[in-house]
Amino acid sequence: MNFNENLKKLRDELVLCNADAILVSMNNFFGNFDSECSGIAEISGFTGSNGKAVVSKGRAILSVDGRYTKQAIKQTDSTIWEIKTYPEFDTKTLVCEILSPKQILAVGAFSITYTSYLSLLEAAQKSGFSVKVLEKFPLFEPVKSSKFIYLIDNDIETRIARLQDTLSEGEVALLTDSAVIGWTFGVRCEPNADKCVLPNCIAIVPHSNKPMLFSDLVLKDQCNAFEFFNIAQFEDVIKRLPKSEFVLDYSRTSLYFPEVLRRNGFSVQSSKTNYCMFEAIKNRTEIKNMKIACEKASLAFIKTLAFAENAASTSEIEVAKFFENELKKYDDFVSLSFNSISAFDRNTAIVHYNPLTHGNTKMDTDGLFLFDAGVHFNTATTDMTRTIHRGSPDYMAKKIYTSVLKSIILFSSLKFPDRSKAYLIDAIARVFIWNEGYDYHFGTGHGVGSFANVHEHPIISSNSDEKIMENMVMTVEPGIYSDDFGIRLENMLLTRAANTPGFIEFETLNFIPFSRKLIVVEMLSDVERNWLNEYHKKIFDKFANRLTEDEVTLNWLKENTKEL
């Protein structure tokens, strides 16, 4: 792909729309856009999942969060692109960096959230530039998906009613989050893909009338619980609705939809309800299915790590394929939940490394190997990470690994008041990493969907005030990174009631050993060592009898579950 030619075409559009700069985001529906085309990827080569770019006639700036800084530098042309780091360079700061007073910023109505747009207007008033909204897609049109939608259960009315109960008479909820829509309407899309939730979709849920689902896909199954429309009909449909007040999540809704609602006579207000939290609380069936899925994925993970550590010569892609082939032995396997992060040696320093886009590295020497992978089974989704070492690690690697391991153990052992804010427990996961003089520039964890998005709410980060409640499934994934290496560990956890009334605790759902050769036992307290020994005993008891004919994996399991 000729990124520079695409960048030139985008700059030509600046002239046509009489603007001095243009804001380009990752996608057009903020998490449920089905095309590989992100806008940023086509003009820069950066393939990460989070970023904002501002392009003027003379400058091009890309802001990414800490997970992607190294990747962005590696994938873009340094003579053209300036790489900045979020949150220091948020959308408003990024624009002010490149625009002068009295200049014009162009933004695509589908390419900016309503929250960011309002923030830009405030910045424009202070700095003296103006904002011009483009209703067409700048440069790249979205590609229509070849998938179709199908129903996965019959409990749709109950979930719709739960959402309607949050609305006052005359209020209408506009849903734009793919996970919320998939949960509310009980729908998923085919064929197999890393995102089984609906792409290019929105929904309208009135207080009492039948809801409406909009998508550019074909609905395979008929359902009397809601009406279904092509997303291109959105404006025509709302023109026929009685005038009412729409409530929506400004931070998850592209500018286009509130603009269309207002010009058709509707009022728009920010929703007081975080609908994303509805699917975050799992029911009994979902929890049961999550546990089954985690056990299956854990066994495939163990076999993969044993292969990666013992193979005389392999490659990052071969290891990733080995994992996927193990999963295909299960009848309920649907797909990977994201492209596996299979990173060897220096590649471990790139947080979201992908051998398919970064280049496949041969694994025939000593070195760290980081494997982060997830699975969609037809009832549940998983996400887990381990770092191991081929050969003999040095003391520095062992010390850093043990610090990350201590963070996992501390977080997993927590008991805390029900409905505690996420930022409080995020800090606890960083204690041992801070003690070593490191930090990781992203969240500690995230919710995991039930055969849905692998990244859902709650978000466990330093700026998340979401409440942690019973029956949520989430990850904990601390890490330490340098220019030369990265070490990350990740478990899936379920929140459950603790013995102390009003408190909750975690149950670890996956069963994958930590690397014995990377642990400095003297750094562990008695409590930490006991936690680890109990965890490893559970793993050995669960899987040893299933591996009697797989000598390589069984020996690897025995070595890494030895009592400390």
One-letter amino acid at 453 equals N
User: CA-CA distance, 147 to 354, in Å (whole number)?
Assistant: 25
Do 215 and 181 form a contact (C-beta atoms < 8 A)? no
What are 18's two structure tokens? 């009489």
- Please tell me the total count of domains within the chain: 3
For the beta carbon of residue 32, count every other beta carbon within 10 angstroms.
23
Last residue of a domain, one of 247, 277, 307: 277
Q: Give the residue among 166, 195, 198 at the shortest CA–CA distance from 180.
A: 198
Between helices 178-185 and 156-164, what is the axis angle to 10°? 120
Tell me what pLDDT residue 37 has.
43
Structural domain range at position 523: 284-560
Distances (CA, A) of 311 to 304, 314, 316, 342: 10, 6, 12, 15
User: CA-CA distance, 431 to 88, in Å (whole number)?
Assistant: 23
Tell me what pLDDT residue 51 has.
86
Are residues 436 and 294 part of one domain? yes
What is the pTM (predicted TM-score) of this model? 0.89
Are residues 467 and 329 part of one domain? yes
Which residue shows structure tokens 């290496």?
485
Where does residue 343 fall: left (phi above 0), alpha (psi -120 to 50 degrees), or beta otherwise? Answer: beta
Alpha helices (H) along 110-197: 114-127, 156-164, 178-185
DSSP 445: E
Are residues 169 and 94 part of one domain? no
Q: What angle do CA 262, 268, 271 make, to 5 degrees?
A: 155
User: CA-CA distance, 521 to 532, in Å (whole number)?
Assistant: 11
HSE-up (13 A, CA, CB side) for residue 247? 18
The separation between CA 112 and the C-alpha centre of its own chain, rounded to angstroms, equals: 18
Do 386 and 479 form a contact (C-beta atoms < 8 A)? no
Are residues 295 and 236 part of one domain? no
The CATH number linked to 168 is 3.40.350.10
The separation between CA 185 and the C-alpha centre of its own chain, rounded to angstroms, equals: 21
User: CA-CA distance, 179 to 142, in Å (whole number)?
Assistant: 20
Q: Give the residue among 21, 27, 23 at the shortest CA–CA distance from 48.
A: 27
Distances (CA, A) of 50 to 38, 54, 94, 170: 10, 14, 15, 36
In sequence order, the 6+-apart residues with CB closer than 8 A to the CB of 507 are: 493, 494, 495, 496
The CATH number linked to 406 is 3.90.230.10
- Whether residue 543 lies inside any domain: the answer is yes
Tell me what pLDDT residue 142 has.
59
Are residues 239 and 224 part of one domain? yes
Helices (H) and strands (E) in the chain — how many of each?
A: 17, 32
Do 397 and 390 form a contact (C-beta atoms < 8 A)? no
- Whether residue 315 lies inside any domain: the answer is yes
- Whether residue 143 lies inside any domain: the answer is no
User: CA-CA distance, 474 to 496, in Å (whole number)?
Assistant: 12
For the beta carbon of residue 298, count every other beta carbon within 10 angstroms.
21
Alpha helices (H) along 209-315: 234-239, 256-263, 284-310
CB neighbour burial string for 305-339, b if at least 16 within 10 angstroms, e if fewer: bbbbbebeebbbbbbbebbbebbeebebbbbbbbb
Are residues 413 and 338 part of one domain? yes
User: CA-CA distance, 176 to 382, in Å (whole number)?
Assistant: 24
Where does residue 461 fall: left (phi above 0), alpha (psi -120 to 50 degrees), or beta otherwise? Answer: beta
Do 419 and 497 form a contact (C-beta atoms < 8 A)? no
Are residues 92 and 211 part of one domain? no
Between helices 284-310 and 316-327, what is the axis angle to 10°? 140
Are residues 405 and 268 part of one domain? no
Strands 456-460 and 445-447: antiparallel
Q: What's the sign of the alpha-carbon dihedral 276, 281, 285, 287?
A: positive
Last residue of a domain, one of 234, 258, 277: 277
Are residues 375 and 517 part of one domain? yes
Tell me what pLDDT residue 198 has.
74
Residue numbers of the chain with a pLDDT score lower than 50: 30-37, 193
Are residues 292 and 272 part of one domain? no
Report helix, strand or coil for 540.
Answer: helix
Are residues 164 and 118 part of one domain? no
Q: What angle do CA 179, 118, 424 make, to 5 degrees?
A: 55
Are residues 404 and 342 part of one domain? yes
What are 547's two structure tokens? 């591996």
Tell me what pLDDT residue 468 has.
97
- Whether residue 142 lies inside any domain: the answer is no
DSSP 290: H
Tell me what pLDDT residue 94 has.
87
